[in-house]
Amino acid sequence: MTVSGPLTTHGIPKFADTDVPDLGAGGVGSILDTLDGLIGAYKIAATTVGVGGAATIDFTNIPQTFSHLRLVALLLDTGAVTIVRGVVRINGNTTNNYTWGGIEAPAGTPVYTNGTTTGWGQMAYVGASGSYAQGGVWDALFPDYANALTAKALHGVYTALSAANSAYSGISAGTFAVGGAISRLTLLPGSTAFAQGSRATLWGLP
Amino acid sequence: MNPPVLVVDCETGEETTRPMTDAELAQWQADVAALPPVLPPTTLADQIAAAVSAGVAAAVPNADAAAVTAAALDSLTPQPTAASAPTTEGGTTT
């Protein structure tokens, strides 16, 4: 289900801050700037995986209207094993253009990096057994995603919800070393498929 | 039948679910196989022990490595504190 509807029929709220006086750090200007960012966020699309699951969740034709993209997802895997990895692919690019690293606590390798480039970027957890209690939550930011000239950054925070897996949480950052705006994000699970009830929301930030 | 793909068109708002193409399926299977596993949590003590073992193995001849590792790990293991001898103050044993 897409909550926000097509962009072509919705005005996209933009709150330019050129009329906000800059009163310095911590001043009214800063507060308004913060509110500006919150108010101006636009829900581009929200989806929930239905019966039968989904091997991938594919956001296509992402509008280039915003400054940044934010993805918030609750991800469940159909596998009955423990939590698995989840990753993202940009613009359908499957070649080794992604680098990433991060910190996980307290998994066996708390500080990690992929070492070499891979065909996908970012890291997250995907909960097991299709159970909300086993879910993995992922909050990812794609700054300056519409810039056509430079490589893209991927920043993310992820954690597992279940009590049994509460030790699993991490921070991940990396790059996608290909110029061009991001117009497609594909979420991939690390095991079988996203289970029914998995959901993902894509936000545009001003 | 190939696994389903959930496609969300952000421009039109349309959602569709379709089977993967054979090419997508092959790529997806390769992706899943290549993803790193989620490692089980380890304690700090486990990590220290592993680091000590690796360090000793690299620095000590094979014949002595096991003994040196054991001694090093033993020195890192908290030893039970010896019970304090009762003291007598003013005729009262504490």
SS3 assignment for A160-192: ECCCCCCCCEEEEEEEECCCCCCCCEEEEECCC
Ramachandran angles phi, psi of A189, nearest 5°: -90, 155
Residues 143-202 of A with CB under 8 A from B: 167-168, 188-191, 193-194, 202
Among the partner-chain residues B8, B13, B43, the one whose CB lies closest to the CB of A5 is B13
Ramachandran angles phi, psi of A112, nearest 5°: -135, 160
CA–CA gap between residue A58 and residue A173 (Å, rounded) = 21
pLDDT for A99 equals 84
Q: Cβ contact (<8 Å) for B17 and A52? A: yes
Which of A2, A43, A70, A201 should we substitute to test contact with B (largest number of B Cβ atoms within 10 Å)?
A: A2
Confidence band, pLDDT 50/70/90 cuts, at residue B81: low
Q: Cβ contact (<8 Å) for B3 and A55? A: yes
**Stretch A121-125: mean pLDDT, rounded?**
67
Domain segments of chain A as ranges: 45-205
pLDDT for B57 equals 76
A21-79 pLDDT, tens digit per residue, is 444 444 444 554 555 555 678 999 999 999 888 999 999 999 999 999 999 998 888 77
Confidence band, pLDDT 50/70/90 cuts, at residue A170: confident
Confidence band, pLDDT 50/70/90 cuts, at residue B75: confident
ipTM: 0.74
Residues 44-83 of B with CB under 8 A from A: 44, 47
Confidence band, pLDDT 50/70/90 cuts, at residue B22: very high
Which carries the bigger pLDDT value, residue B27 or residue A117?
Answer: B27
Helices (H), chain A: 28-39
CA–CA gap between residue A133 and residue A195 (Å, rounded) = 13
Which carries the bigger pLDDT value, residue A200 or residue B50?
Answer: A200
Residues 94-123 of A with CB under 8 A from B: 94, 106-109, 112, 118-120
Q: Which residues lie below 8 Å from residue B75, measured CB to CB, with a gap of 6+?
A: none
In this prediction the pTM is 0.70
CATH, range A45-205: 2.60.120
Which of B1, B5, B9, B10 should we substitute to test contact with A (largest number of A Cβ atoms within 10 Å)?
A: B10
Residue among A80, A190, A166, A193 at smallest CA distance from A128: A80
Q: Cβ contact (<8 Å) for B38 and A94? A: no
The helix (run of H) or strand (run of E) holding residue A203 is strand A199-205
Among the partner-chain residues B11, B20, B31, the one whose CB lies closest to the CB of A120 is B31
pLDDT for A110 equals 60
